[in-house]
Amino acid sequence: MEILLWVLVLSISFSSMEFMAWFSHKYIMHGFLWVLHKDHHKKNHKSWFERNDLFFIFYAIVSAVFMLMWGEYNFWPGLPIGIGIFC
Ligand SMILES: [Zn+2]
């Protein structure tokens, strides 16, 4: 039963992030944070790093924080939530 709950939390986390990716791309990245996202669509630089990569770093930190909550504070949903965000 515990594994089903774990899979459910991971599935909800993954599905929520799919919605969040769509929502943030449409309304945030192409909205008030366009200044960070435009170099993803208009390649006029020679750097390996794009300002757009900050979005990936942000979600990687959020995922890592949930995994740390699992590892350090015994917050069991932290691992499936962190993996769901990571996926
Ligand atoms: Zn875009």
Place of tokens 């449409």: 26
The reported pTM is: 0.83
Residue 55 included in any domain: yes
CA–centroid distance, residue 42 to ligand 1 (Å): 10
Q: Is residue 42 part of a domain?
A: no
- pLDDT tens digit string along 20-62? 999 999 999 999 999 999 999 988 778 888 999 999 999 999 9
Neighbours of 54 (CB within 10 A): 12
- The answer to whether residues 82 and 70 touch, using CB atoms and an 8 Å cutoff, is yes
Please indicate, yes or no, if residue 69 is contained in any of the structural domains.
Answer: yes
d(Cα 30, Cα 86) in Å, to the nearest integer? 23
Count: domains in the chain: 1
Compute, in angstroms, the gap from residue 79 CA to the centroid of ligand 1.
29
Is residue 46 included in any domain, yes or no? no
Asked if the structure places residue 76 within a domain, the reply is yes
Going from the Cα of 55 to the center of ligand 1, the distance in angstroms, rounded, reads 12
- Structural domain containing residue 81: 2-36+51-86
In the numeric block, which tokens belong to residue 23? 């929502």
Question: Which percentage of the chain shows pLDDT scores above 90?
Answer: 86
DSSP, collapsed to helix, strand or coil, labels residue 57 as: helix
Residue at 15 is within a domain = yes
* 41 found inside a domain: no
How many helices and strands (H and E) does the chain possess?
Answer: 4, 0
CA of 25 to the centre of ligand 1 (A): 6
